[in-house]
Amino acid sequence: MKKYRKVMLPFIIISAIFQTGCWDSKALENLNIPIAAGYEIVENTVTNKREMEVYSVIPVFYKKAPEKYIVDITRGDLTGKTRVKRMNHLSEKLSLGSFQIAILGNELSKKGAGDVLDILTRTPEMKSTIPIAIADCDIKDIFQFAPDNYPNVGIYLDALFENAFKKSYIPVSDVYHFNLALNTKGWHAIAPMIRVQGNKIVINKYGIFKEDKMVYDITIPETQILYLLSGNPSMGIWTYDVVLDGLPCTVSVEMNNKTKITVKKEEGTYRIYLIINCKGKIVEIVPNENLESMDKFDEGKLDKFKKEELLKDIEKGYKNYIKSNAKALINKAQNEFEMDIFNWVKFAQAKWRKDIDDLNWDECFTKADIVIDINATINLVGEKI
Amino acid sequence: MKTPLNKFLMAAVTTSFSYTGFEYLFILYPFVKNKKGALKYSIAANTIGVLTYGYVTIMCTIILGPYLIKQFVWPTVTVLKTVDVPVIERLEFIFILLWVGIGVRPLTNQHFEVSYFLMQVMNIKKFKNAAIPPVIRSTIIAAIPQSISETFKYSNYVGILGMGIGVILPVLLLFLSLFFKRSKQK
């Protein structure tokens, strides 16, 4: 056996390299059929008791089966009880290791999702990177949705979240992040809300939690600002209006943003300093006045945008756009929600954990002074002069 | 840094089980060929253990936070569950496979030492014969705890006992050697 040991490693590496020709990492992951599960609280009209309704998308592997998956709906007093009840009517084995998507019902999210999260984290077979979302419509509509080009709704949702979290400039929401925010003092968990819209399922808005209950929701553009202000390094495309040399234009820029957050205690109140550093490039500039009749558009005017002073105007426009949106969201959080939805408490906890644990941070946040400073560098790059 | 010293000491009692094992040196020392370097290497080995535990503790606290970390039985495994590795998917299973290999080593060392001890005390000639009773003992002890929390409770006792043997025994032996040395000189 010893003499084969040296040969084994190169053999494994070479065979792995050859296998990538047939199956790339994406294809290999797609071979694993994701199971989606949904949880909702419903009222039993006979007993007048609240029950847990669990939805699961389970693949069927029989060639001649008319449907390639089953949507199972099982009711029980508790989530655990539905596991036993499911076996009474379902012949397919539910493999918890393949569990990839978790959807919480709207009613359950409002009443308290702590118990379901406890089960999702307690079960050893389940990983903590399962994306989590809230149903913004009847959860049944989501699970009974038949996507056009995907084998089942589980695969559709898996692809949707993977791309959305990477490219849509919105916060990652998985069991780990959600549970961390839910169980950390002063933090507020957020999760995307999805709904069926025509022949698609869309991420509609984000739900904000206080302890384990969803109390508010914000729009997707607001969520993008929230993500930026929370201190997460983020990349994305922003579109805003700006007047360039007297010409009203719409500009799209691809930016890398990073916010530095510092919390200071000054004269009994907290002051939060945000320094937003942004660097990126212009994606497109469209003059607004020519949107209706692009044929008449004078191409020569675009030359003006290459001038340095116009780039400065684009940067200034970006700063104003981010600042005004950031101020609007902070104002909403301080006066309407009265909650630190940005979880800036962690920067205060890092300095004065014991003191912060003893006080109501949300109250301190509503009275806090917030100072925003933005640095933006935008370049004109690309293959065309 | 505001945590009082008594809380650190209370935590040390719980973690003492992880550091037990250094008392094996009392049995292993006669087998050591390079006795001059033994102290240096044993300190180095313990330092590696301390640094590894320190690193794991800091990483788990950073990832799970001071509140969530308290909820998990094995935070290190939970931390590995939070990482999404393409194709492999479940990193924690690979870690557990590696850990089984590493985790068995202290067990085999302990069995060797107990068997050797039995050989010396009970005058057993063959090592094979001395190796059986510790295995039976371990199997019986492993069946006693009914839950993980009970296992941790017993491991705390073993940790305290190990620390006691590891710290008190050498001090006691030192005093005894000094005493016998003096009486010999008289």
Residue A244's pLDDT is what?
Answer: 78
Residue labelled with tokens 């009994």: A268
Q: What is the pLDDT of residue A293?
A: 46
Asked if A239 reaches chain B (Cβ–Cβ under 8 Å), the answer is no
Going by C-alpha positions, the residue among A140, A151, A152, A164 that lies closest to residue A227 is A164
Instruction: State residue A216's pLDDT score.
Output: 95
Q: Which of A206-220, A330-344, A347-361 has the lowest mean pLDDT?
A: A347-361
Query: Residue A303 and residue A179: Cα distance in Å, rounded?
Result: 52
B interface with A, Cβ–Cβ < 8 A, is 2, 64-68, 71, 78, 81-84, 86-87, 89-90
Residue B16 has pLDDT above 80, yes or no: no
Handedness of CA A195, A196, A197, A200 (dihedral sign): positive
Q: Could you tell me how many helices (H) and strands (E) chain A has, helices first? A: 12, 12
Q: What is the pLDDT of residues A38-56, one digit of tens each?
A: 999 998 888 888 889 999 8
Q: Please give the average per-residue pLDDT across B135-147, as a whole number.
A: 89
If contacts are CB pairs under 8 Å, which of residues 177-196 in chain A contact chain B?
179-180, 183-185
- Rounded to whole angstroms, the Cα distance separating B134 from A318 reads 73
Residue A343 in contact with partner chain B when CB distance is under 8 A: no
ipTM tops 0.90: no
User: What residues have CB less than 8 Å from A224, skipping those under 6 apart?
Assistant: A169, A170, A236
Considering only CB atoms, which chain B residues are within 8 Å of A185?
A: 67
Q: Does A15 touch chain B (CB under 8 A)?
A: no
Mean pLDDT (whole number) for B165-180: 85
Total residue count of chain A as it appears in this document: 385
Tokens at residue A193, please?
Answer: 């809300």
- Main-chain dihedrals φ then ψ at residue A375, nearest 5 degrees: -115, 125
Task: Note whether A301 and A277 are within 8 A (CB).
Answer: no
User: Is A233 an 8 Å CB contact of chain B?
Assistant: no
User: Percent of chain B, pLDDT > 90?
Assistant: 8
Question: Strands A369-379 and A269-287, how do they pair?
Answer: parallel
Per-residue pLDDT, averaged over B151-174, amounts to 84
- Residue B51: the pLDDT is 93
- Residues A300, A312: Cα–Cα separation, whole Å: 20
**N-term to C-term CA, chain B:** 53
Residue A382's pLDDT is what?
65
pLDDT at A350 over 60: yes
Q: Per-residue pLDDT averaged across A220-233, rounded?
A: 89
Q: What share of chain B is helix, strand, coil (3-state, %, to 5)?
A: 85, 0, 15
Report chain A residues whose CB lies below 8 A from the CB of B148: none
The radius of gyration of chain A from alpha carbons, rounded to an integer in Å, stands at: 25
Instruction: Identify whether the C-beta of residue A186 lies closer than 8 Å to the C-beta of residue A340.
Output: yes
Round to whole Å and give the CA distance between A141 and A135: 9
Please tell me the predicted confidence (pLDDT) of residue B70.
87
Asked whether the beta carbons of residue B71 and residue A183 sit closer than 8 angstroms, the reply is yes
d(CA A28, nearest CA chain B) in Å: 6
pTM metric for this prediction = 0.79
What pLDDT does residue A354 have?
83
Average pLDDT over residues A362-373: 93
Query: CA dist A270 to A188, A225, A265, A266, Å?
Result: 19, 22, 5, 6
The strand pair at A132-135 and A190-197 is best described as: parallel
Reported for B165-173, long-range contacts at CB under 8 A and 24+ positions apart, including other chains, are: B165/B23, B166/B20, B166/B22, B166/B23, B169/B23, B169/B26, B170/B26
pLDDT in tens, B109-126: 888 888 998 998 888 888
Chain centroid to Cα A1, Å, comes to 50
Comparison of pLDDT for B91 and A53, the residue scoring more:
A53
| Cβ-contact A54, A87 below 8 angstroms | no
Stronger pLDDT, A247 or A136, i.e. the higher one: A136
| A159-182 pLDDT per residue, tens | 888 888 777 777 878 899 999 999
Asked if B65's CB is within 8 angstroms of A180's CB, the reply is: yes
- C-alpha to C-alpha distance for B162 and B17, rounded to whole angstroms: 7
B83/A184 Cβ within 8 A = no
